[in-house]
Amino acid sequence: MIAGDDEQLDEDRGCCPHYHLAVELIGRRWTGAIVAVLLGEGPQRFSEIAVAVPGLSDRVLSQRMKELEMAGVVARTVSPGPPLRVQYELTAKGRALEPVVDALERWGQRWMAEDVPAAKGPAAPLG
């Protein structure tokens, strides 16, 4: 990078602040799985996402969806009812995560396969 570039790593912290924010958002528990489901399945209702990510509580899913919506990664659409219908889908910003999610899945399949506990079975595909 060129000295003075806004994207330059902060030598005091050793980590680009943009990278740090991205990892903090996407690296939260369950968030990567939620994004992967939306990448693979397109617009989903809350209950469909919950079924696609076993072990994810409704409370945590609700929190993560609000965080992703506030970050501009997910759009929430309410269709008038009855019944009232709410769907979530990735925005352009969220869809731009596809190569990252794909790369992380490939890395996990290569390097984490031996770390998946046998009792739980193989890890679910991300995308």
Q: Residue 48's CB: how many other CB atoms inside 10 A?
A: 15
pLDDT at 127: 42
- Write down the residue that tokens 């509580």 correspond to: 57
Task: Give me the helices (H) in 27-97, please.
Answer: 31-41, 46-52, 58-70, 92-95
Segment 113-122 shows an average pLDDT of 60
Asked whether the whole model's pTM tops 0.75, one would answer yes
Domains of the chain, first to last: 30-113 (1.10.10.10)
Residue 95's closest CA among 124, 70, 68, 74? Answer: 74
Residue 77's closest CA among 101, 51, 42? Answer: 42
